[in-house]
């Protein structure tokens, strides 16, 4: 009972130290402000003007081109002998586009490359396409029929209806990675900071290294999850706003929130986060000075395994995918993705999860042992072999 109450006290302490609602709210406000400015600014910057653009064309005999361009531009004819003067005018005034049509194609003259040039090139491509279609006597509808894919009706014995399941599994994989990275910063501050402030000895004289380690893992995991939850809620609200703007129904979001899938993915993600927190805590326990320790780079380890776990997408039924969905450092993301895109027996799902839980149980014990032998080593940072040797003795 004392173990639980002490772990709870340490968990609460770590959570309250690092989860600051005021800072989270400020972060959200700043993020919202940047998003709004970005959205409307971008929309304004890339919006197509209603007004027709002015286009100067060197006199030519192709009336089809003139008619085509007139429907999209304010076309001004420039006599051939005035071409050189007009080009000089473009150079001086730094604006204007002069189009010249020839047997080899088109020549576009402008002061510099702009979006208007891209639009003109696209329009000229349209024109050429139409001209070539007319030559062979093909209409636009007939062309679409030629280019359309074959109509194939699919019928499978195993129907997983997985599209939304996959999206949700990616969401949880992404959530796990983001939480682990948030926790990475907190673990560093919490553990190496406490060592540098010389608080550790005071703490471990009151509680066992296991209580200390468990409290840190749970408290910081909770902090990371709370931050993520805040951002997830904000994303959903943002998504709802997006759907509102685009005219799509808000309920589109809820289509993806399929409860049975959430009940499977969430425990995998949660234990995965706890496992990585235990590993990060063990590494941080060995580090004396985070600014000068080569071991700090080990904190990037989770990204390697998470990226590897995504290999299951290529062939979810391969031996590699099977291994990744059972191996505890990848299974938290691999198994839910595999379950989403292929047929996975329920016993596999359960077995992989039990292995994941067992791994966490053992890793937190190992982390506490490493912490116990590392705290009293002062001065030089211990090497992995020293920690291993001392852990065996402890």
Phi and psi at 154, nearest 5°, equal: -100, 140
Q: Tell me whether residue 340 or residue 373 sits nearer to other proteins (CB atom).
A: 373
Inter-residue contact 191 to 10 (CB < 8 Å): no
Closest CB 388 distance from other proteins, rounded Å: 16
Q: Tell me whether residue 47 or residue 378 sits nearer to other proteins (CB atom).
A: 378
- Token readout for 221 is 């995991």
Rounded Cα distance between 234 and 245, Å, is 16
Q: Tell me whether residue 17 or residue 119 sits nearer to other proteins (CB atom).
A: 17
Inter-residue contact 378 to 361 (CB < 8 Å): no
Closest CB 288 distance from other proteins, rounded Å: 13
Closest CB 203 distance from other proteins, rounded Å: 7
Q: How many CA atoms lie within 13 A of 325 on its CB side?
A: 29
Inter-residue contact 108 to 117 (CB < 8 Å): yes
Closest CB 18 distance from other proteins, rounded Å: 11
Cα 379 to its chain centre, rounded Å, is: 40
Q: Tell me whether residue 219 or residue 316 sits nearer to other proteins (CB atom).
A: 219
Q: Tell me whether residue 2 or residue 392 sits nearer to other proteins (CB atom).
A: 2
Phi and psi at 129, nearest 5°, equal: -60, -45
Rounded Cα distance between 99 and 78, Å, is 10
DSSP character string of 144-161: HHHHSPP------SS---
What sign has the CA pseudo-torsion 189, 193, 199, 203? positive
> Which residues lie near other proteins (CB under 8 A)?
2, 6, 9-10, 13, 17, 197-199, 201-207, 376, 378, 394
Closest CB 36 distance from other proteins, rounded Å: 33
- Token readout for 155 is 């019928």
- Token readout for 184 is 């990475």
- Token readout for 242 is 């997006």
Closest CB 190 distance from other proteins, rounded Å: 10
Q: Under 8 Å CB-to-CB from 321, ≥6 apart: which residues?
A: 311, 312, 314, 315, 334, 338
Q: Tell me whether residue 233 or residue 394 sits nearer to other proteins (CB atom).
A: 394
Closest CB 369 distance from other proteins, rounded Å: 13
Closest CB 164 distance from other proteins, rounded Å: 44
Closest CB 294 distance from other proteins, rounded Å: 24
Q: Tell me whether residue 16 or residue 130 sits nearer to other proteins (CB atom).
A: 16
Q: Tell me whether residue 11 or residue 277 sits nearer to other proteins (CB atom).
A: 11
Rounded Cα distance between 16 and 12, Å, is 6
Q: Tell me whether residue 68 or residue 371 sits nearer to other proteins (CB atom).
A: 371
Rounded Cα distance between 79 and 59, Å, is 5
Inter-residue contact 133 to 143 (CB < 8 Å): yes
Rounded Cα distance between 254 and 249, Å, is 10
Rounded Cα distance between 343 and 379, Å, is 54
């Amino acid at each position: 009972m004392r173990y639980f109450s002490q772990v709870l006290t340490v968990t609460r302490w770590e959570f309250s130290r690092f989860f600051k609602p005021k800072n989270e709210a400020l972060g959200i406000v700043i993020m919202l402000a940047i998003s709004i400015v970005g959205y409307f600014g971008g929309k304004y910057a890339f919006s197509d003007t209603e007004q027709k653009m002015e286009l100067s064309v060197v006199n030519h005999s192709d009336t089809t081109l003139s008619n085509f361009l007139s429907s999209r531009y304010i076309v001004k004819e420039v006599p051939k002998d005035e071409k050189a003067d007009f080009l000089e005018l473009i150079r001086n005034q730094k604006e204007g586009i002069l189009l010249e049509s020839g047997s080899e194609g088109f020549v576009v003259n402008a002061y510099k490359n702009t979006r208007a040039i891209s639009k003109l090139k696209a329009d000229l491509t349209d024109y050429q396409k139409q001209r070539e279609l007319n030559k062979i006597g093909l209409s636009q509808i007939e062309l679409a029929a030629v280019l359309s894919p074959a109509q194939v009706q699919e019928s499978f014995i195993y129907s997983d209806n997985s599209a939304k399941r996959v999206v949700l599994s990616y969401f949880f994989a992404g959530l796990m990675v983001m939480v682990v990275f948030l926790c990475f910063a907190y673990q560093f501050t919490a553990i190496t900071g406490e060592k540098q402030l010389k608080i550790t000895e005071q703490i471990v004289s009151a509680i066992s290294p296991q209580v200390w380690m468990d409290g840190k893992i749970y408290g910081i995991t909770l902090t990371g999850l709370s931050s993520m939850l805040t951002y997830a809620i904000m994303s959903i609200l943002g998504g709802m706003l997006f759907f509102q703007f685009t005219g799509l129904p808000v309920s589109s979001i809820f289509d993806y929130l399929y409860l049975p899938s959430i009940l499977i993915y969430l425990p995998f993600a949660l234990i995965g986060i706890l496992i990585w927190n235990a590993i990060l805590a063990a590494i941080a326990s060995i580090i004396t000075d985070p600014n000068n320790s080569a071991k700090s780079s080990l904190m990037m380890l989770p990204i390697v395994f998470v990226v590897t776990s995504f290999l299951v997408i290529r062939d979810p039924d391969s031996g590699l995918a099977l291994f990744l969905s059972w191996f505890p450092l990848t299974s938290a993301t691999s198994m839910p993705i595999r379950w989403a895109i292929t047929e996975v027996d329920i016993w596999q799902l359960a077995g992989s999860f039990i292995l994941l839980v067992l791994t966490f149980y053992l890793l937190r014990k190992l982390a506490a042992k490493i912490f116990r032998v590392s705290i009293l080593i002062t001065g030089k940072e211990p090497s992995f072999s020293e920690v291993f040797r001392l852990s065996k003795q402890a």
